[in-house]
Amino acid sequence: MISDASEYYENLSREDLLNHLKRETCLRHQLEQELKEREQFIQELQQRILELRPKQQASVEIANTPTCTEEQFYELAKCGRQSAVSSRISLFFFFYGCSSALALGDEPWASLQPNVRQCCDVLWSGFLLRRVNWGQGGESSDSVLNVQHTYNKSAGFADMSGEWYEIKMATLLFLRGLNYTEDFFLATNFDGADRHFTGIPLQTLLLAEVFENDLRVYQESKQFNFHEECDLFLLYDRFVEKKWDVYLSEKKKEDTSNIGVQRDNEDLKNIFMSNHMIAALLRILSPKDLSVLKYKDLQVKGSRFIGRVEQGYDHTGIILGITDGVPRFVHHTFAEYFTAKWFAMNFSENRNFVEHNFWESSYEVVKSIFDRILANDSDLHIAVLRNDVAAVTGLLEKGAEVNFRDMGGRSALHLAAVQKNGEDVIKILLKHGADIHLADEVLQWTGLRYADKGINSKDKQGKTPLFIASEHNHLEVVKYLTEKGADVEICSRDGYSPLYIALLKGNTNVIHFLKDVATVDKGSKNGWTLMHTASTNGHLNVIEHLLKINANINACNKYGQTPLHIAAKKNNVKVLQFLIQEGALVNFHDKTFGWTPLNYAIQEGYLDIVEHLLNAGAELDVCEKNNMAQSESDDQVGMVHHLTDMETGLIIPNKMNSWTPLFLASWYGHLDIVKVLTVKGAQLDVCEKTSGRSALHIAAEKNHISVAEHLIEKGADINIRGQLGGLTPLHVASQRGNVEMVMLLIEKGAHMEIQDRINGQTPLHNAAWCCHFELAKCLINKGANINATDGSGWTPMHIAAEKNHLDMVQLLVEYGANINTRTNTYDWTPLHYAAKYGRSEIVEFLIKNNAELEVHDAMRGQIALHIAAENSHLHVIKQLVEGGTSVQVRDSNGMTALDIALAQNDKLMVEFLKPLTDPIIPRT
């Protein structure tokens, strides 16, 4: 961005550069002066608030008069009156006392109560650009003023609610700034005709800015008349125009009445508009969308302008700053306004983008301004955009050309075809001879094509006209819309189709009509039919209607789940009972895990559902069916548990498609369901296929004490071995460090010395490997063999030394473990392993506890010192030498530790060992 700015200055002549610097210096001085004045203003305001601070009182009533004083409002706010006015007026003073809105961040009130937060949202968006000056002269400056709902006369009190609060407060506050006065005039004389441009709080500010002279008149007459031509586009257009004039006259200090200045400024204004349009595109469009626009050097020009803004140039009060390379407009709607301006000038080159994006809800404001810009030279088009039936009729009767084209080549019919509730306007246009085959220039569409697009338009809830008509049982409208091509399958945001909402509402006539034109069993992208949706939501009446019109009770979604699966997952008991009664398949397996509805009910712990399914014939010991597909997903609602521990040999499958209901209930610890299943005769010692575990293994791993105890009481084999690895429940509990479970299993007769079939390890080996200190102590106290060896001759002491578990080593030694025991293969002691892996603390402890230092292994005759040298553990070498190990000891190859260090070219080890090693001792 800096390079772009440099390029800009390099292109200036010396004279232009000097003039530019003079202007910028002048501007800088002016800004400094404004900052000083702003600080003075804040100080004066704070002093004034202190002067007005009221004494505490229960409440202050404001008389039912057309005026009230500032002091009265402040008193009401501070006295804590339990009404909306209290918190909102307090917010007014809070924001007014801030020296900078931007210092507060975007939404500093995010943690407030919802109603207060909503107040802040509106006032922030509505009045960020303008601060009313409380001093004499009525001058205004860009800063901070945030005020929420205004008030109207109601029950004798000033009330901050009211249908037209935005426009009332805008007028009120603007008047307050124009002329210093104690009176707050109640702006209550606005009627419903002004509704069409007061929907966004920011527009209220624009009104106050643009219609300054009108507001001055209002101050005298208490009457305010809006310009008839005023609408959203003109409001923004005139506001930007005024900002530009202020920028030139106040910031640049130029005489705008001079003809030469006007000519130069017109060129500058074009640059100004172009820059802001580019900035708006960067703000509104994603990088992907920007890349498809037909605009040469868009990114380059945008970067250059952003660079200037970041350096403090081109400040007009419309762009506040740059965040992460993206312009931050004073309000999002300004970015939308400039975006619409750009597309109005470039729609023919970007027709494809307009066609595929302008119908999205995110472009609603952009499209409305875009339409208004192109329609600017036609009163008929503007009336259509306002959906003003009376105005359209009047204009046509006065001779307006019904097929007149706007700047986008569109007729009034093109616009009416996509207007919400525009049927009456369309009828009038057609009556006056509107040509339905006329193609426009924006999209090259006819009126019929636009009508087809508009007929499926959605509101904020995703409802189409057909959906709304179906919801309210308007059969004739439903018929009309379907005849005109309305899509009967489009769903609302809730996932409801027109037929579904008719079923839900019980609109019989609409149901009978739509069942013949809509597909009852058609699924969504995930294969969900109306039956699935009804089962999800527990809409039993919808299911009853669907079955009457022959819906498939066993329809499958993408995952092979039927409505009965869904009802079981959602705990919709009545729906489940009804589906079973109507013949739904109780033992149908889905595609994901091969699960039946019973599996899902067990997973969720729904005892009532489980009992209903069992009573209906659900299979107790059903596992994966051969024709069921394997799961390809690892994120299915908490059902996937990929827990693999290669060191301990514990392997838990990431697919539960071979699990019986008892496995699932044991996994999730649903004791009540386990009891039901065992009473019904579930097999206790069946092992699942993947890791070969039983229900007791699963309960032991998950530490579900009560489940394990119940299974044992019912006869489960406490020493059952898993088919893979031969692990018993005690092994599994030891690996997981489940002390209480280990105690239970031992008390119930579990064998502590039983070895697994992987490494021949006992539960104590497992505890040592995983460093489960308390569990190891428990096993030892219960009589576990502390020197038990596995298939390789490893004792728990070997494992603890290798794994660097000092606490475990200390515990084992404390209880009498053999510190010098050797393995079967290499004759390694625990000291060998500690030396190999550089376990300094373990080495130190073993030395202090009289470990044999010069035990030769069976492979190369090496002692711990040789092993440490081979692995470059100098600190261990020092410990061993200091502990009494001789550096002269040679291995079976005649190598001393120094020889090994030299062979490895380890200078530090050589420096330490060389002075200690006698070179004349012959090798053996």
Q: Is the pLDDT of residue 714 over 70?
A: yes
Compute the average pLDDT of residues 174-182.
35
Compute the average pLDDT of residues 673-693.
87
Residue whose C-alpha is closest to residue 97's, from 143, 166, 135: 143
Of 16-20, 92-96, 144-148, 592-596, highest mean pLDDT: 592-596
CB count in 10 Å sphere of residue 431: 11
Q: Is the pLDDT of residue 188 over 70?
A: no
The share of the chain scoring above pLDDT 70, in percent, equals: 67
SS (H, E, C) 98-157: CCCCHHHCCCCCCCCCHHHHHHHHHHHHHHCCCECCCCCCCCCECCCCCCCCCCEEECCE
pLDDT-wise least confident of 228-242, 288-302, 452-466, 545-559? 228-242
* 13: confidence class by pLDDT, cuts 50, 70, 90: low
Domains 641-785 and 819-924 equal at CATH topology level: yes
Q: Is the pLDDT of residue 108 over 70?
A: no
Q: Which helix (DSSP H) or strand (DSSP E) does residue 429 occupy?
A: helix 423-431
* pLDDT for position 662: 92
Compute the average pLDDT of residues 607-630.
72
* 896: confidence class by pLDDT, cuts 50, 70, 90: very high
pLDDT-wise least confident of 615-629, 718-732, 788-802? 615-629
Q: Is the pLDDT of residue 491 over 80?
A: yes
Q: Is the pLDDT of residue 176 over 90?
A: no
What is 641-785's CATH topology? 1.25.40
Contact 811, 776 (CB under 8 A): yes
Compute the average pLDDT of residues 597-624.
87
Beta bridge partners of 153: 158
CB count in 10 Å sphere of residue 607: 15
Compute the average pLDDT of residues 325-336.
85
* pLDDT for position 887: 94
* 413: confidence class by pLDDT, cuts 50, 70, 90: confident
Rounded to the nearest angstrom, the gap between the alpha carbon of residue 788 and the centroid of all alpha carbons in its chain is 54
- Provide the mean pLDDT of the chain: 74
* pLDDT for position 452: 61
* pLDDT for position 520: 82
The share of the chain scoring above pLDDT 90, in percent, equals: 36
* pLDDT for position 14: 62
* 417: confidence class by pLDDT, cuts 50, 70, 90: confident
Compute the average pLDDT of residues 813-841.
94
Q: Is the pLDDT of residue 909 over 60?
A: yes
Contact 658, 697 (CB under 8 A): no
> pTM of the full predicted structure?
0.49
* pLDDT for position 803: 93
* pLDDT for position 734: 93
Compute the average pLDDT of residues 425-447.
84
Compute the average pLDDT of residues 452-466.
74
* 177: confidence class by pLDDT, cuts 50, 70, 90: very low
Q: Is the pLDDT of residue 123 over 50?
A: no
Q: Is the pLDDT of residue 164 over 90?
A: no
* 393: confidence class by pLDDT, cuts 50, 70, 90: very high
Q: How far apart are CA 198 and CA 230, in angstroms?
A: 11
Residue whose C-alpha is closest to residue 754's, from 726, 773, 777, 778: 726
> How confident is the model over 266-323, as pLDDT tens digits?
778 888 888 899 999 999 998 888 888 887 778 788 888 888 888 877 677 788 888 8
Compute the average pLDDT of residues 697-721.
94
Compute the average pLDDT of residues 789-809.
94
Higher pLDDT, 652 or 809: 809
Backbone angles phi, psi at 321, to 5 degrees: 175, -165
* pLDDT for position 145: 30
pLDDT-wise least confident of 27-31, 290-294, 689-693? 27-31
What does each C-alpha distance from 783 to 229, 303, 791 come to in angstroms?
96, 76, 21
> How confident is the model over 355-367, as pLDDT tens digits?
888 878 788 888 8
pLDDT-wise least confident of 242-246, 424-428, 542-546, 570-574? 242-246
pLDDT-wise least confident of 151-160, 165-174, 359-368, 453-462? 151-160
Compute the average pLDDT of residues 642-660.
41
* 208: confidence class by pLDDT, cuts 50, 70, 90: low
> How confident is the model over 541-594, as pLDDT tens digits?
889 988 988 889 999 988 999 999 999 999 999 999 999 999 999 999 988 888
* pLDDT for position 719: 94
* 801: confidence class by pLDDT, cuts 50, 70, 90: very high
pLDDT-wise least confident of 7-11, 73-77, 613-617, 660-664? 73-77
Q: How far apart are CA 620 and CA 612, in angstroms?
A: 13
* pLDDT for position 627: 31
* pLDDT for position 845: 96
Higher pLDDT, 504 or 12: 504
Assign 327 to helix, strand or coil.
strand
What is 819-924's CATH topology? 1.25.40
Question: Between helices 84-96 and 114-127, what is the axis angle to 10°?
Answer: 50
Residues with Cβ within 8 Å of 106's Cβ and at least 6 positions away in sequence, in order, are none
> How confident is the model over 61-75, as pLDDT tens digits?
332 233 333 343 333
* pLDDT for position 296: 72
* pLDDT for position 323: 86
Q: What radius of gyration, in Å, describes the C-alpha atoms of the chain? A: 41
Q: List the chain domain ranges.
A: 53-230, 519-639, 641-785, 819-924
Q: Is the pLDDT of residue 882 over 90?
A: yes
CATH class of 519-639: mainly alpha
Residue whose C-alpha is closest to residue 764's, from 750, 753, 756: 753
pLDDT-wise least confident of 44-53, 474-483, 501-510, 518-527? 44-53
